[in-house]
Amino acid sequence: MRTARAIGAGLLLMLGLTACGGSPYADDGPYRIAGGGTGGVYYDYGGRLADALQQGLGIDIAVVETHGSVDNLLRVGSGDALLGFAQGDTAADAIAGTGAFDAPLPVQAVARVYDEYVHVVVPADSEAEGIRDLAGLRISLGAENSGVQVIAARVLGSSGVLLDGVENPALGLDASIEALRNGEIDGFFWVGGLPTPGIEGLAAAMPIRLLPVEAEAVDLANAGHAGVYRLAEFPIGIYGIGTPTATMTVPNYLVAATAAPDELILEVTRTLFESRAAIARQVAAAGSLDRRQAIFTGPMPLHPGAAEYYVAVRH
């Protein structure tokens, strides 16, 4: 875990580089978007957004592979990344300095971009029918420093399954998919937008099922965690599955460092919305971006630059 001192030093470095360029758009980094694993929506969305920012603002920016929400928040908070995607529950932990974070991080929200779905993926012929049936099985709960691990632990706990009751190889999405195809694990957790490209590819290669996350488990998971979780259903037909499956959703935010220049974040926010339709043609989850809902990022406050954009477009 990075210390508060290291985080502060990283922020000063980022601001120093920006100031040296004489413009908030100066290419001194280059800038990075912390984007999760290559098989997930974060990475795909981040890459398309980076392209739009390059073309629209003339800055050198690229998406980078990470372990997910916790890693993304640490990178943004330290100044290693200008932007990053993070689950709402993990973002709440980050600003409070709880959970996976040993001190509050200086990060703020740009927008609520879409809701993520909790996937519990097993082979179609698995004997597991629900979360409780995972006890004693080899189940990947996500990579280290990922928001997937945070949610997987909460789903298991709220379903009455002890963490040490499953064998957890702690794999990221790509590695989990490969391990399931090879019969090395019995299932895996994933939290992402719909459809997640890597799981689409897995479903094309082998029959899979999604285990339900029941309403009672969602209610228990919400206790003490900012009330960010919601009960939902996977659409019929997703990943070739013909029956509805209950699950839990969590909002997903695009975040920036508190100290990032207001003018730059205002232009990032503008570009995010102006490129929405083009990105959505390649990344379905981007179609969920809604200006009316984007401001609801509680308990994480909006970055002043993003807030300025929302005020401006209302008038």
pLDDT at 216: 94
Which pLDDT belongs to residue 147? 86
* Predicted pLDDT at 105: 97
Q: How confident is the model at residue 227 (pLDDT cuts 50, 70, 90)?
A: confident
CA distance 202 to 43: 17
185's tokens: 């694990």
The structure tokens listed for 184 are: 């090395």
Contact 101, 94 (CB under 8 A): yes
How much is the pLDDT for 144?
87
Q: Where are the alpha helices (DSSP H) in 23-113?
A: 41-57, 69-78, 88-96
Using the predicted structure, report yes or no on whether residue 12 has a pLDDT greater than 90: no
Tell me what the pLDDT averaged over the chain comes to. Answer: 89
* Structure token pair of residue 210: 């999604």
pLDDT at 193: 85
User: Domains in the chain, ordered, with CATH?
Assistant: 4-114+252-313 (3.40.190.10), 116-250 (3.40.190.10)
**What is the rounded average pLDDT of the residues 219-243?**
88
Contacts of 206 (CB under 8 A, 6+ apart): 123, 124, 180, 181
List, for residues 172-213, the tens digit of each pLDDT value: 999 999 999 999 999 999 998 888 989 999 999 999 999 999
Q: For the segment 55-104, what is each residue's pLDDT rounded down to a tens digit?
A: 999 999 999 999 999 999 999 999 999 999 999 999 999 999 998 899 99
Average confidence (pLDDT) over 23-33: 66
Quick check: 250 pLDDT over 80? yes
Q: Which of 173, 179, 171 is nearest to 197 (CA)?
A: 173
What burial letters (b/e) apply to 235-253, b meaning 16+ CB within 10 Å? Answer: eeebbebeeebbbbbbbbb
Q: Number of C-alpha atoms within 13 angstroms, CB side, residue 231?
A: 12
